[in-house]
Amino acid sequence: MFGMKRTFRIALQILLAVSLILFVFGETFVTSTFVRGRNTQNDIEQQVKSLSVDDLGDRVLVFAPHPDDESLAAGGLIWMAKEQGKQVKVVIMTNGDCFTRGVEAYLYQIKPKPQTYLQYGEQRQLETITSLTSLGIAQSDVIFLGFPDKGLAKLWQGVWGDVPYRSSCTGYTQVPYDHSFKPGAPFTAPELISLIKTVILSYMPTSVLVTDSSDANSDHWATSNFVMTALLQMESFDKAYSPKVFTYVIHSGYWQTMPASKHLKEVLYPPKYFLVEGYRWYSLALSQTAKQMKVKAISNYHTQETVMPQFLQNFERPNELFNLYVVRRIPKVEAAVTDEDLFRGLLTLEPVCYSPQSNKAVLVLNSGAYLNRLYALTTKDESMVLGVQLGGRARVGTRFLVRVKFFGAEELISSYDTWASVTTNGLSISNTDSLQATASMSKDLFALVLKGKPAHSIFVGISVQSYYEGVQVDSLPWHFLSF
């Protein structure tokens, strides 16, 4: 019996992998990277608005998870903004020092040692300075935080106390680079948020550019979460300060990974699966000179060209893409969580987020694991109700992982991971926390009630993942909602 179950799980993993490849391959080549067909192109163009550098205000702050992300996503914007006399600063979250394949290829080191990773990180710092100075940025306006590459998601998930995270590559538990914003800063989530706040307070940008929480790279979505947390906490103290936040995507399945050399003159569009409600895409048209300067800036990243030249080249387009991020407010209803109509009324509300990367093949395999959109409300008895609209009825063996973080004006108040499993006996709940949680499920709605919203919480971060027979099949990326 155990052998049959293991065989089924392996077969399921293979089926999911193949279906995902076929789905993303089709999305990429039919409607995403290279838009073909007049009807498809017109549909996409209507959902992507034009962006002007003037829309950014006078002070622009760009956050990049790794050296090169800022030039790939916004190299043209940076140059055009500087040409128009605007102030631009760039914050590099990590030195990208844990890219083992890059270290091996660039420094000819098999099984690199900690010192080799540090050497690689220092080289990537130098490349960043060279690249950004070519775009008109003063070296003093390039800020390196020096936090652990491939470690930001781990900080976000569980390093909120005094014990710092240890880098798996450098072995350090604090910032090891002399040329950084705060050498010796411990690798903890509160410290990183504090540094981000310090940078923002010293500059008060009118626009912030940061990776999107839907980006597939863990450092990228974690960067988005840390920056949004810092901004929302700052805005709680100064209601008048509310900069525009634009997000960008670097990694998303096969988008931007397929050879595009024949299409570099064509406008870049988001993948079709990102054209869902809740996303407000904008395209910045680059001048010919801006594109040339961006290409030059990217070419300075020799460490990356060694291992992924095609990927870098795919961003050398006549435009750059950004999504205008909007934080939604959770509505409060004058009803108790025990009211029978509460769950039925959940779907009458406006969703607080939509799934941008759902694999349509999941609908065939197990429609109940397909995460479509998220609803949320709070009640008069201070409970929070979350509802996930599914693609259909969930099969036995389906599990949902709901991650929730409640934040106050200065700190993380509480964090909960709750599992809900579909069994032959119904829906079961399990978590390792003291949170009182109950769940229910209808034909296409999974609802979770979190009893007792923490006092003094001003916003919440939520993500949902679905699994079938132990295999992750879908996810709703982290979204921040205010109370």
Per-residue pLDDT tens digits for 311-334: 999 999 999 999 999 999 999 888
Mean of the pLDDT values across residues 142-149?
98
pLDDT at 90 over 90: yes
Residue 7: pLDDT band (50, 70, 90) is: low
For residue range 224-258, list pLDDT tens digits in order.
999 999 999 999 989 899 999 999 999 998 777 76
pLDDT greater than 80 at residue 38? no
CA-to-CA separations, 329 to 113, 387, 461, in angstroms, rounded: 47, 15, 12
Predicted local distance difference test score (pLDDT) of residue 356: 76
Cα angle, residue 478 at apex, residues 476 and 479 outer, rounded to 5°: 100
Asked if 316 and 72 count as a contact pair (C-beta separation under 8 A), the reply is no
Q: Which two tokens stand for residue 177?
A: 């680079």
What strand order describes the sheet that includes 281-285?
A: 48-51, 281-285, 319-324, 244-248, 207-211, 59-64, 87-94, 142-147
Superfamily of domain 45-324 in the CATH hierarchy: LmbE-like (3.40.50.10320)
pLDDT of 435:
65
pLDDT band at 32 (very low <50, low <70, confident <90, very high): very low
The Cα 188–Cα 441 span in angstroms is 37
Highest-pLDDT range among 264-268, 316-320, 451-455: 316-320
The one-letter code for the residue type at 273 is Y
> Is pLDDT of 198 > 70?
yes
pLDDT in tens, 103-125: 999 888 888 999 999 999 999 99
Pair of tokens at residue 15: 């089926």
Q: Provide the CA 192 distance to its chain's centre, in angstroms.
A: 17
Question: Is it the case that residue 35 has pLDDT exceeding 50?
Answer: no
pLDDT, tens digit (0-9, with 9 covering 90-100), for 205-216 = 999 999 999 999
pLDDT at residue 341, rounded to an integer: 64
Higher model confidence: residue 73 or residue 350? Answer: 73
Write the single-letter amino acid at 144: F
Rg (CA), the chain: 23
What's the farthest any 2 CA atoms get from each other in the chain?
70
pLDDT in tens, 392-446: 999 999 999 999 999 999 999 999 999 999 999 888 888 656 567 888 888 889 9
Is residue 31 predicted with pLDDT exceeding 50?
A: no
Q: What is the pLDDT of residues 433-450, one digit of tens each?
A: 656 788 888 888 999 998
Burial (0-12, 13-18, 19+ Cβ within 10 Å), 468: buried
CATH 3.40.50.10320 in the chain: give the residue spans. Answer: 45-324
Task: Give me the pLDDT at residue 24, please.
Answer: 45
Average pLDDT taken over every residue of the chain: 88
pTM, full prediction? 0.91
Percentage of residues of the chain with pLDDT beyond 90? 68
Average pLDDT (448-455) is 87
The ranges of the chain annotated as CATH 2.60.40.10 are 328-482
Q: Domain spanning 328-482: which CATH class is it, in words?
A: mainly beta
How many C-beta neighbours within 10 Å does residue 370 have?
Answer: 25
CA atoms within 13 A on the CB side of 147: 34
> Does the structure show a pLDDT above 70 at 13?
no
Neighbouring CB atoms inside 10 A of 344's CB total: 11
Do β-strands 281-285 and 48-51 pair in parallel, antiparallel, or remain unpaired? Answer: parallel
- Which of 31-45, 235-249, 322-336, 458-472 shows the lowest per-residue confidence on average (mean pLDDT)? 31-45
3-state secondary structure of 146: strand
Q: How far is CA 88 from CA 35, 58, 193, in A?
A: 32, 8, 21
pLDDT for the residue 14 = 65
Q: Do β-strands 371-379 and 332-333 pair in parallel, antiparallel, or remain unpaired?
A: parallel
Q: Is the pLDDT of residue 357 over 80?
A: no
- The two beta strands, 328-329 and 471-482, are parallel
Task: Give yes or no for a contact between 202 and 140, defined as CB atoms under 8 angstroms apart.
Answer: no
